[in-house]
Amino acid sequence: MLRSAGLFTTRVLPLRVGRDTVCTVTATGTVTERSKPRKRKRVMSESLREVRAKVAAGDSRIVRLTLSRAQGRQAAPGDEGPAAA
* pLDDT-above-90 percentage for the chain: 9
Give the tens place of pLDDT for each residue, 35-54.
Answer: 777 676 677 778 888 899 99
Indicate yes or no: pTM above 0.75.
no
Identify whether 84 is part of a domain. Answer: no
Identify whether 16 is part of a domain. Answer: yes
User: Which residue range(s) make up the domain with 70?
Assistant: 7-32+45-77
Identify whether 51 is part of a domain. Answer: yes
Give the tens place of pLDDT for each residue, 9-21.
Answer: 677 888 899 889 9
> Which of 25, 24, 15 shows the shortest CA–CA distance to 66?
15
Identify whether 68 is part of a domain. Answer: yes
Q: Degrees (nearest 5) of the Cα angle 49, 25, 44? A: 30
Question: Across-strand partners of 38?
Answer: none
Question: Whole-angstrom Cα distance, residue 65 to residue 48?
Answer: 6
Identify whether 55 is part of a domain. Answer: yes
> Which of 28, 23, 3 shows the shortest CA–CA distance to 13?
3
Q: Is residue 57 a contact partner of residue 22, using CB atoms and an 8 Å limit? A: yes
Identify whether 28 is part of a domain. Answer: yes
First to last CA, the chain: 10
